[in-house]
Amino acid sequence: MGTVETAPAGSQALVTNSGTEQNAVLNFTIPAGATGATGATGATGETGATGATGETGATGATGASSPVQLTALAYATGAIPAAGGAVPLTDSTLYPADATGITVDGDTMTLADGGLYEVTYNVEYTGGAEAGSVATLYVNGVAAAATARNLEGGTAAGATYLLQAEPGTTLQVQVDGVTALTGGVASLSAKKFETPSAA
């Protein structure tokens, strides 16, 4: 027997004699078989181990300070007189408790310290608000027109007012145009803000 070789798939098989008729040496050329079908996908392997945690990133820059800070707060409440007028502020709370820049006496809140204040009033009532009845914040005895709220047909009203106050500024909540208001309660608050000093 001589050689055995592989030929391309699809070619003819071939046998040749490289010897003599009396002493034959046969050489075989055999075509390769056709490519078989793709086998089924194997099972998914196990999930690898979790990698090590990366390094912590650099700390971000410190944010800017608030442009203003709340330094004092006064909150007072009282019953609205049935016939209207300035509301007596019979209950009050100060923050901090030893604050001296805001005082409450009778129907008046006084801002002893000048500066920027956010002033808010609210009134609640159950009946007796006639046509033309209105609640208003008074500053130094003068109505702040932007805070006037019509009471007719409602049960509550209020307004917030930013005020650059001079030392000794006075605040009042006044209800006008009513003769028999029922279930009326009012509140008045003043928050003092200051700009932090530069370091």
Closest CA to 132 of 111, 112, 153: 153
Stronger pLDDT, 76 or 3, i.e. the higher one: 76
Record the tokens describing residue 15, joined without a space.
């046998």
The residue extents of the domains of the chain are 1-33, 69-194
What is the mean pLDDT of the segment spanning 126-150?
93
For the segment 35-81, what is each residue's pLDDT rounded down to a tens digit? 777 878 888 888 888 888 888 888 988 866 667 788 899 999 999 99
Residues 6+ apart with CB under 8 A from 141: 170, 172
Tell whether pTM > 0.75: no
Question: What mean pLDDT do residues 95-103 have?
Answer: 89
Task: For residue 191, give the amino acid letter.
Answer: K
CA distances from 197 to 41, 65, 66, 67, 70 (A): 72, 11, 11, 10, 13
Report the pLDDT value the prediction gives residue 3, as an integer from 0 to 100. 78
pLDDT of residue 175: 95
Confidence of residue 120 (pLDDT cuts 50, 70, 90): very high
Provide the pairing of β-strand 91-95 with 69-79: antiparallel
Kindly tell me if the per-residue pLDDT of 161 is higher than 70. yes
Please give the pLDDT value at position 73. Answer: 94
pLDDT above 80: residue 18: no
Give the pLDDT confidence score for residue 54 in this predicted structure: 86
- Is residue 105's pLDDT more than 90? yes
195 band by pLDDT with thresholds 50, 70 and 90 = confident
Sequence-distant (6+) residues with CB within 8 A of 153 are 129
Q: What is the assigned CATH class of domain 69-194?
A: mainly beta
Lowest model confidence (mean pLDDT) among 37-46, 81-90, 161-170: 37-46
E strands in 8-61: 14-17, 26-31
Closest CA to 113 of 71, 162, 174: 71
DSSP one-letter code for 122: E
Contact at 8 Å (CB) between 107 and 172? Answer: yes
Judge whether 98 and 109 are in contact, CB under 8 Å.
Answer: no
Q: Give the number of other Cβ atoms within 10 Å of residue 172's Cβ.
A: 21
